[in-house]
Amino acid sequence: MQKKIFMYEALRDAIDEEMARDKRVFVLGEDVGHYGGSYKVTKHLHIKYGDLRILDTPIAENSFTGMAIGAAMTGLKPIVEGMNLSFLLLAFNQISNNAGMLHYTSGGNWSIPLVVRGPGGIGKQLSAEHSQRIEAYFQAVPGLKIVACSTPYNAKGLLKAAIRDANPVLFLEHVLLYNLKQEIPEEEYILPLDKAQIVREGSDVTIITYSRMRHHVMQAVEQLCKQGIDAEVIDLISLKPIDINTLIVSVQKTHKAIVVEECMQTGGIAAEVMAQLYSLAFDELDAPIIRLSSKDVPTPYNGLLEQASLVQPDQIVSAVKQLLKIHF
């Protein structure tokens, strides 16, 4: 049986099912309880589970993230919601020095089964401080897993897996995908946290992407198909660790690659993907990898400038044609 739901509902179902399954799971963050979360992911859950398992916190990200890490050390399974993931930069010390490293620095005596999740990415005129793409900041932190969902289907299956994982997982949800609707199975399913998804098979070029850019890429692929270009599309999903084997197999088939990301170009996820592909599959490439990233600027408030800072579908089409040396 299938049901058609929004992505925020799929995330809520995942949390609800895991809280019902395991009494150690609880949610904390700003306005997660009676208000239901800034994007309604936890709406009504406080009625079912009470105010101690759906815990409203003060506006103090470093403090409540530290509290969650301590709770995880004692055997609970906290889910920290950042009202906007940009705000969790205030908890960078806790997430990096403690969540990421305590398992190692304690000699394996402590595990940190923690999920840090919430809305991020560039929305619609949310301006610079609310448009952070924090995956680049946390990419270098040892001990963290980083996952980016992109559809209601993978959002639910990945969040359930993240909650069950014994490691700290940074779970990225794009602010503009919450109202994306899709049919998903009513029966339980779990998806692996460390595997990329081949969204579309193709033979001419490999397009690697994640999160909201998956949908920009698919818009571009529709145009490319009409022009006889057969693109393979891969959604990374796991940003740390990167499922490099899936990427290598694809490049062995197409011999050309483009990486499309919403992250900033300097030090972004694409830079890591390219470095690994050049190290491990250089001889398979017939041309340099093309990288399409957001501009290295604070995201503008002005709507037109905001769009200009982002990769658009027509730019992806142009890059594919450039790579394949197809002239306009």
Report if residue 190 sits inside a domain: no
**Of 159, 185, 211, the domain-final residue:** 185
The pTM score is 0.95
Q: Record the tokens describing residue 200, joined without a space.
A: 């579309």
Q: Are residues 13 and 62 in the same domain?
A: yes
- For the stretch 223-240, pLDDT in tens is 999 999 999 999 999 999
Residues with Cβ < 8 Å from 152, sequence gap 6 or more? 5, 6, 7, 9, 10, 180, 181, 182, 184
pLDDT of residue 128: 87
What are the residue numbers of the active site? 61, 130
CATH of the domain at 159: 3.40.50.970
Q: Are residues 218 and 72 in the same domain?
A: no
Nearest Cα residue to 116 out of 131, 96, 140, 130:
96
The residue range of the domain holding 313 is: 197-324
Q: Are 54 and 32 in contact (CB under 8 A)?
A: yes
Q: What angle do CA 140, 144, 149 make, to 5 degrees?
A: 100
Q: Are 37 and 44 in contact (CB under 8 A)?
A: no
**Of 185, 205, 226, the domain-final residue:** 185
- Cα 132 to Cα 174: distance, rounded to the nearest angstrom: 11
pLDDT of residue 8: 98
- Cα 168 to Cα 143: distance, rounded to the nearest angstrom: 7
pLDDT of residue 327: 46
| Residue at token pair 């806790």 | 94
Start-to-end CA span in the chain (Å):
46
For residue 197, the cross-strand partners are 235
Q: Are residues 261 and 172 in the same domain?
A: no
Three-state DSSP class for 42?
A: coil
Phi, psi of 96 (to 5 degrees): -85, -60
- For the stretch 257-316, pLDDT in tens is 999 999 999 999 999 999 999 999 999 999 999 999 999 999 999 999 999 999 999 999
Q: Which positions of the chain have pLDDT values less than 70?
A: 326-328
**Of 185, 206, 234, the domain-final residue:** 185
pLDDT of residue 82: 93
Q: What separation in angstroms does the CA of 12 have from each of 16, 65, 166?
A: 6, 20, 21
pLDDT of residue 325: 84
